Structure 1
Amino acid sequence: MHNSVYRSPRHAQPLAALPEISPAAAAAAFVLGLPASVLIDEAIDSASPRVKSIANETSANGVRMFVARPPVPAGGGGPTKRPAVILIHQILGLQRREADLAAALAAQEGVVAVAPDCFQGQSTLWPFRAITLGFKYALRDGASWGVESVHEAVRWLQAQPDVDSDRIIVAGFCYGGGAAVRYAAAYPGEAAGVAIFYGRPLLEASEVAKLGRTPVLGLYGTRDTQFPAAMLDKFQADLNAAGVPNRLERFEGEGHAFIKEAKSVEVGGAAGRAWSLFCAFVQDVAAGRPVSGPK
């Protein structure tokens, strides 16, 4: 790469003569433009089959989901009833990433894997619209966290002839991790286990107590500013006090959302280790083995 010097056209206005814009004014203009950009993304989303193109099943009440089943062994055979795992999307809504992870999980671990759409057909790759979706479904007072959509996915799985309804594990990423643990608290005994990939923990001991004996796996980065160490310490203390089997792993130097895409778990590093711990958790819960901390 070589350096070059840009020279203005002869009749261009000299830079010195342009009006100065203060940082505050520039920031204000940027912020004022956000609603328009969000509306544009909403229009694009409404006109495109983003979620519809990913989902391959729909619940009785209209919740779309991607479902992956393990390959059938040659000559048939295999278990007639399998464990199942629900993988809840992050704040961007249901994306191909979750479908790919669900397919990988089904193939590797022999489970029925479901990635439900908890945002009612809405998804985005635009960060500022993601914030509006997060506020609507999770951050505002009284937000539902998509718990009923998760419940729909659980009910759908319970009706499947190849699923053991006593071995349904609920997991999620970012927003989805918070939704998973809130579902388990709202419907005690429905989830056989809960896995939280850098999601918002339950903040009140009374809510944690609703988990009963449902095992919990938490996977967080030490540099995740959304969930500081003190918050996670309290969450684990509340889990221990309530007698909830749990394991909270913290990955040194990792920030939020360190599993960027499906292939990240194949590369290794923190993403690969976190995914391996999750898969081991799934197998332990499915087999009824106790869940414990680091060995």
Structure 2
Amino acid sequence: MLKEEIDSLAPGRDFNRRGFVQTAVGSGFAAAVLPVTAQTISTDTAGLDAGTVSIEVGDFKMPAYRAQPAGRKNLPIILVASEIFGVHEHIADVCRRFAKQGYLAIAPSLFVRHGDAGAYTDIPKLIAEVVAKASDVQVAGDLDATVAWAARHGGDASRLGITGFCWGGRTTWAYTAHNPAVKAAVAWYGPVARSYFAGDKTIIEQAAAIKAPVLGLYGAADTGIPVGTLTQLEAALKAAGHLKSEFVVYPDTPHAFHADYRPSYRKAAADDGWAKCLAWFKKQGVA
């Protein structure tokens, strides 16, 4: 069980009733996070092509949520890797936020082979029955197919970035190690000293394969990701001759501080992290 996920969904906060279980990729919220909080951000689709698309991965058709500026081509591509709850409304909203900045942003449903992550109310059961079945090998193949799809639908694969949250933050690190075409990455509170799928290497163990610059955004009060593990990863990267990645650790900040639909949300850190995220991609030529 991931303690940080349980903690970030702690009861006793002021909730409104806008939450509803997702019925399609990018719509609604996962059952495990209901009800959502009052500060939940909603980004409109004005000027965007946005919605569900289907990506072929071999003979499998994987759903994904895509948002991009309408009528434009040769757009920089941002892969968005979800939390353990799958591609629900918050992840779709993040895609729309990137699209408003001129990106083709796409969030593939990386758990869909194993079950409906949005339907679970029990987090340990969700992790055991769905999340823990998505290996780095499977996820890398799915993301490779997503990049190929984006390149055929208005994206410029020479300007490829990836970002993700929690499980998706770890995926951000892992995919950057897998694909040398990634130009830059931003990992939001992704575990670096443990894996989810049995047999997968930790991010610390994959450090030597990471070539692109990664910005790691973390909370010092994250109960599941000790700051010491970030220090270990930083040392492993330096030992491999990688000096391009950076870490930002926000004081007194919990896990999932960017998740505006959850009680763990911390607006100051989230806003600062988002600004740093956009600046990082621009600095590294993914813009």
TM-score, with structure 1 as normaliser: 0.69
Query: Which of 93, 105, 108 matches 1:116?
Result: 108
Classify 1:169/1:275 alpha carbon distance in 2 versus 1 (closer, same or farther; 3 Å): same
Aligned equivalent of 2:168 = 176
Map 1:95-174 to 2 at 5 A.
95-107=88-100, 109-120=101-112, 122-124=116-118, 126-128=120-122, 130-136=123-129, 139=132, 146-160=139-153, 162-174=154-166
TM-score, with structure 2 as normaliser: 0.71
Deviation at 1:137, TM superposition (A): 5.5
The percentage of aligned residue pairs carrying the same residue is 23
SS across alignment from 1:200: coil
In 2: Cα distance, 1:155 partner to 1:95 partner: 23
Q: Does 1:49 align with 2:23?
A: yes
What's the CA shift string for 1:237-259, capped at 9, x where partnerless? 11222233101000111111111
SS across alignment from 1:59: strand
Query: Which of 87, 93, 97 matches 1:94?
Result: 87
Aligned equivalent of 1:41 = none
Gaps of 5+ in 2: 1-20, 29-50, 194-201
In 2: Cα distance, 1:146 partner to 1:132 partner: 20
Classify 1:167/1:135 alpha carbon distance in 2 versus 1 (closer, same or farther; 3 Å): farther
Higher helix content, 1 or 2: 1
Aligned equivalent of 2:188 = 197
SS across alignment from 1:63: strand
SS across alignment from 1:178: helix
What's the CA shift string for 1:134-185, capped at 9, x where partnerless? 335555796657332222212212323x322111101100111111211222
Contact 2:77 2:156 in 1 (8 A): yes
Q: Does 1:239 align with 2:237?
A: yes
Higher strand content, 1 or 2: 2
Map 1:63-102 to 2 at 5 A.
63-71=62-70, 80-102=73-95
In 2: Cα distance, 1:87 partner to 1:67 partner: 10
Counting matched residue pairs gives 231
Gaps of 5+ in 1: 1-44, 73-77, 289-295
Q: RCO higher in 1 or 2 (8 Å CA, sep ≥ 6)?
A: 2
Aligned equivalent of 1:207 = 206
Classify 1:137/1:176 alpha carbon distance in 2 versus 1 (closer, same or farther; 3 Å): farther
Deviation at 1:205, TM superposition (A): 5.0
Say which one has the larger Rg: 1
**After TM superposition, where is structure 1 displaced by more than 4 Å over at least 4 residues in a row?**
52-55, 136-145
